[in-house]
Chain A
């Protein structure tokens, strides 16, 4: 190790006060950069996750009206045969039958239009985890002809858990059907579109809309990136089994609202990141330049005793780089830890947050490439600052520097 490398490392501790200020600036700038990028990724991921869990699966197919009315060859056994083939696809982790229908929910003259979702509660356990219930998890209640509604609908109808409500639907054939149900659970509002969802036991909804078949079949995968592959494999199975009687779509095809909100949020967060980076950049350049200027006498002494300017610059750049590495790591450990903790349950921001983020819970997502990006920026700014701040050392007069006040 050369003498200037040793000097650089020793200067890190010798000028601890100055380096602490530089380090704090870098740690804060880099940590915040990573945190905001994590929130941005989290909002997008959560919107997609909610959509996939609540409404679309990775891939879904729906039956035509003719099939539901029994006018095609699609029946229970044909569908079960197709399920066997679909479930044999290795990328597929779960297959959920659903009955999706528009309906009217009513209690004592108060009505609301809803999206009724008949769900197989055993296969939909992950859904129960993504909904936050005001009281206990209502697994058993759902099987006993109960409905799960959002706080939003509960307020509209002036009902609470245990109260009765009436649901009016149009059956698959066209006639109207109506029945009374108990409110088995109220979930905290998720987002504008998801708050209209009313969940009910699949078999009860089938009776209500007078069908033995599901209206929609949701197919899940462990990894959303396998969606195109699943789409093509399921398409091949349905093509051979059902020809044109199925409407197959991936979650991306059904995520118009989620994509729009996610994009709006992404650009919003990127603007914050952009302004934060401008401030961080000039802040870091200023403190590093100040550090170099305040140590003019030290540079003058080194030049006076015959050391080359290149080596002196190297010493300053290396010192700044060491401070940058340490402070970037500290910033990323602190804000990375905060991100990891908050990514478990998220931050509950209240219902009004759904208008901005599409969700009342803000859950950051720990994305490794963001960590690398933040770390790289954490080295780049100080490195540039040190090189730029020491550029005049080459032509500097040691006597002037020694007399610098």
Chain B
């Protein structure tokens, strides 16, 4: 496949998986040595370049909200009624994913394709490079299913080319005349004894939430 196919594949990934306007419930399980240490459940709403997460469970964390307003990331703490700006690279709720991993809106905005798509062990390898050095992971490798072009695995690489994190798309469910990942695992290469599993349910395409829903002012309501 040539460069044009690679760019098309990136756009396909971005459009169908990352920048799709949608609502879903996300369950996040943090495991250590295969034992679940913490579980969170949250309502996620994505619209344009914005994304908001409302924690539903555990009840002690209920109403904690996280927002990517397109420019910054914010967290609302209901108990102290405080709104804090959160850094992109901080671990999301203490798991193996960073805030940026969870709240990423668009791949195309941050990355560009390098080289052609390669055939590796029966899978397609799409290599992406960050457009600038501000992006946390300088390179991302997508391993795609040869037939469906759906991602199977995603490697996040450091500036020196070493794998820092691996995201595995374990299960897919039917969604909007296609498929959408329903179970995703994030593995931190520096903490191989721990992993974070995300399970997506109640998926619906589009959202009726207005732009006001994605403002910091609305987080406290």
Q: Hey, which bits of chain A sit against chain B, CB under 8 A?
A: 104, 106, 108-109, 111, 166, 168, 170-171, 173-180, 208, 210
Whether, in the assembled complex, B138 has its beta carbon less than 8 Å from a beta carbon of chain A, the answer is yes
A179 and B191 contacting across the interface, CB-CB below 8 Å: no
Residues of chain A within 8 A (CB-CB) of B158 are 168, 175-179
A35 and B135 CA atoms in complex are apart in Å by 58
User: Provided the pairs A109-B192, A166-B190, A210-B159 are in contact, do residues A176 and B133 lie with their beta carbons within 8 angstroms?
Assistant: no
Residues of chain B within 8 A (CB-CB) of A174 are 133-136
25 pairs of residues in contact across A and B, judged by CB atoms under 8 Å: A104-B190, A109-B190, A109-B194, A168-B158, A168-B164, A170-B89, A171-B133, A171-B159, A174-B133, A175-B135, A175-B136, A176-B89, A176-B138, A176-B158, A176-B159, A176-B164, A177-B159, A178-B158, A178-B160, A178-B162, A178-B190, A179-B162, A180-B162, A208-B160, A210-B133
Whether, in the assembled complex, B193 has its beta carbon less than 8 Å from a beta carbon of chain A, the answer is yes
Whether, in the assembled complex, B132 has its beta carbon less than 8 Å from a beta carbon of chain A, the answer is yes
Q: What is the size category of the interface that chain B forms with chain A?
A: 10 to 19
A177 and B133 CA atoms in complex are apart in Å by 11
Smallest CB separation, B137 vs chain A (Å)? 6
A109 and B188 CA atoms in complex are apart in Å by 10
User: Provided the pairs A109-B192, A111-B191, A171-B133 are in contact, do residues A179 and B160 lie with their beta carbons within 8 angstroms?
Assistant: yes
Residues of chain B within 8 A (CB-CB) of A176 are 89, 136-138, 158-159, 164
From A168, A175, A177, A180, name the one whose CB has the most chain B CB atoms within 10 angstroms. Answer: A175
Residues of chain A within 8 A (CB-CB) of B164 are 168, 176, 178
A170 and B190 CA atoms in complex are apart in Å by 15
B138 and A175 contacting across the interface, CB-CB below 8 Å: yes
A177 and B159 CA atoms in complex are apart in Å by 5
A106 and B135 CA atoms in complex are apart in Å by 22
Whether, in the assembled complex, B130 has its beta carbon less than 8 Å from a beta carbon of chain A, the answer is yes
Residues of chain B within 8 A (CB-CB) of A180 are 162
A269 and B137 CA atoms in complex are apart in Å by 53
Residues of chain B within 8 A (CB-CB) of A177 are 138, 158-160
Residues of chain B within 8 A (CB-CB) of A171 are 133, 159
A173 and B160 contacting across the interface, CB-CB below 8 Å: no
Q: Which residue of the partner chain A has the closest CB to B193?
A: A109
A363 and B213 CA atoms in complex are apart in Å by 63
Residues of chain A within 8 A (CB-CB) of B159 are 171, 175-177, 210
For window 98-150 of B, CB contacts with A under 8 Å fall at: 130, 132-138
Residues of chain B within 8 A (CB-CB) of A108 are 192
Smallest CB separation, A178 vs chain B (Å)? 4
A169 and B84 CA atoms in complex are apart in Å by 24
Smallest CB separation, B194 vs chain A (Å)? 8
Q: Which residue of the partner chain B has the closest CB to A111?
A: B190
B190 and A175 contacting across the interface, CB-CB below 8 Å: no
B130 and A175 contacting across the interface, CB-CB below 8 Å: yes
A108 and B160 CA atoms in complex are apart in Å by 20
A175 and B129 CA atoms in complex are apart in Å by 12
A388 and B137 CA atoms in complex are apart in Å by 82
From A170, A178, A210, name the one whose CB has the most chain B CB atoms within 10 angstroms. Answer: A178
A295 and B218 CA atoms in complex are apart in Å by 95
A178 and B158 CA atoms in complex are apart in Å by 6
Residues of chain B within 8 A (CB-CB) of A175 are 130, 133-138, 158-159
Residues of chain B within 8 A (CB-CB) of A178 are 158, 160, 162, 164, 190
A173 and B136 contacting across the interface, CB-CB below 8 Å: no
Top 7 nearest A-B pairs (CB, nearest first) are A173-B133, A177-B159, A178-B158, A174-B134, A106-B190, A109-B193, A177-B158
Residues of chain B within 8 A (CB-CB) of A179 are 158, 160, 162
A109 and B162 CA atoms in complex are apart in Å by 16
A108-B192, A111-B190, A168-B164 are known contacts; what are 8 more A-B pairs with Cβ within 8 Å? A104-B190, A106-B191, A168-B190, A175-B138, A176-B137, A177-B158, A178-B158, A178-B190
A109 and B132 CA atoms in complex are apart in Å by 30
A109 and B137 contacting across the interface, CB-CB below 8 Å: no
Per-position binary interface string of chain B over residues 138-174, scored 1 when its CB falls under 8 Å from any chain A CB and 0 otherwise = 1000000000000000000011101010000000000
Residues of chain A within 8 A (CB-CB) of B133 are 171, 173-175, 210
A208 and B130 CA atoms in complex are apart in Å by 17
Smallest CB separation, A110 vs chain B (Å)? 9
A170 and B134 CA atoms in complex are apart in Å by 10
Residues of chain B within 8 A (CB-CB) of A170 are 89
Residues of chain A within 8 A (CB-CB) of B194 are 109
A392 and B130 CA atoms in complex are apart in Å by 96
From A104, A171, A208, name the one whose CB has the most chain B CB atoms within 10 angstroms. Answer: A171
B191 and A109 contacting across the interface, CB-CB below 8 Å: yes
A307 and B190 CA atoms in complex are apart in Å by 93
Residues of chain A within 8 A (CB-CB) of B192 are 108-109
Q: Which residue of the partner chain B has the closest CB to A173?
A: B133
Q: Which residue of the partner chain A has the closest CB to B156?
A: A176
Residues of chain B within 8 A (CB-CB) of A106 are 190-191
Residues of chain B within 8 A (CB-CB) of A208 are 160
A177 and B137 CA atoms in complex are apart in Å by 8
From A109, A171, A176, A208, name the one whose CB has the most chain B CB atoms within 10 angstroms. Answer: A176
A27 and B7 CA atoms in complex are apart in Å by 88
